[in-house]
Amino acid sequence: MMMRKLLYISILGFLVACSKDNTPPAPQGALLVFPEENSECTTGTSVNETLSQVTFRWNTSKNTDSYTLSVINLNTNVPQNISTAATSASLSIAKGTPFAWSVTSRNSKSDQVATSETWLFYNAGSQTTYAPFPAQLVSPASGTTVQKDIANEVELEWSGADVDNDIDTFEVYFSDVNPPTTLLGTTNASTMKLAASVESATVYYWKVITTDLEGNTSDSGVFEFKVF
């Protein structure tokens, strides 16, 4: 009887051990270091008249064995990607141009990935003043379907930044035609929300033009969303 009991306990322990979750830990998002957020990068090494090489740096993230650096030219929306096991990587990018960059953390033993924040910066060129960064459209996210409120409105939200910190206005264009040419409204530098009247079962398009005190402008590009 004792032997049978011991055998039962052993089998039970084996089953419990085998039932433990052996899923590898997911990687965590990396903390970006350089180029700094909403800054002018002046430390690149000149390659030629139009390009300079910039070294991007970030902190080590947990449960990660490789990183993918993504750098997007905000004038053309063309990305450059590079994979590395290190916490830095160099790319040749256009001078005098706004960029967005982020890092994706990966673990070869896991299907999950983690993405860092996205930071904006200007790669230094010959100019002494910079246009604002293109506004980042936050909500509604492009391609989504949203519910209008009781007033038959949807709130448009974006974020804006500028190296010179001299944003003057945001002009919001909104319509059911692409590209939108109807000016919905103009806000000041501290107001990044605007309500838009909408109808159900309709697709809408919107964009934001940012203007600074020197008259420099940038275009967010067009986002679209559908209303239930």
Question: What pLDDT does 21 receive?
Answer: 59
Q: Which two tokens stand for residue 183?
A: 């000016």
- Kindly state the DSSP code that residue 210 receives in the 8-state scheme: E
Rounded CA separation 100/109 (Å): 29
Rounded CA separation 104/53 (Å): 21
Rounded CA separation 199/86 (Å): 50
Mean pLDDT by runs of 10 across the 228 residues of the chain is 51 50 86 96 92 97 97 95 98 96 96 96 86 96 97 98 96 98 97 98 98 96 97
Rounded CA separation 226/198 (Å): 10
Pick the closest to residue 44 from 53, 35, 33 (CA basis): 53
Rounded CA separation 144/130 (Å): 33
Question: What pLDDT does 148 receive?
Answer: 97
Q: b/e string for 54-80 if b means 16 or more Cβ within 10 A?
A: bebebeebebbeebbbbbbbbeeeeee
Question: What pLDDT does 5 receive?
Answer: 54
**Which residues pair with residue 51 across a beta bridge?**
94
Question: What pLDDT does 131 receive?
Answer: 93
Domain annotation for the chain: domains and CATH numbers: 32-123 (2.60.40.10), 136-227 (2.60.40.10)
Amino acid type, 84: T
DSSP three-state, residue 4 = helix
Pick the closest to residue 103 from 30, 26, 28 (CA basis): 30
Question: What pLDDT does 24 receive?
Answer: 80
CB-based contacts of 214, cutoff 8 Å, min separation 6: 129, 164, 166
Question: What pLDDT does 4 receive?
Answer: 56
Give the β-pairing of 144-146 and 223-227.
Answer: parallel
Question: What pLDDT does 191 receive?
Answer: 97
Question: What pLDDT does 19 receive?
Answer: 46
Rounded CA separation 159/162 (Å): 11
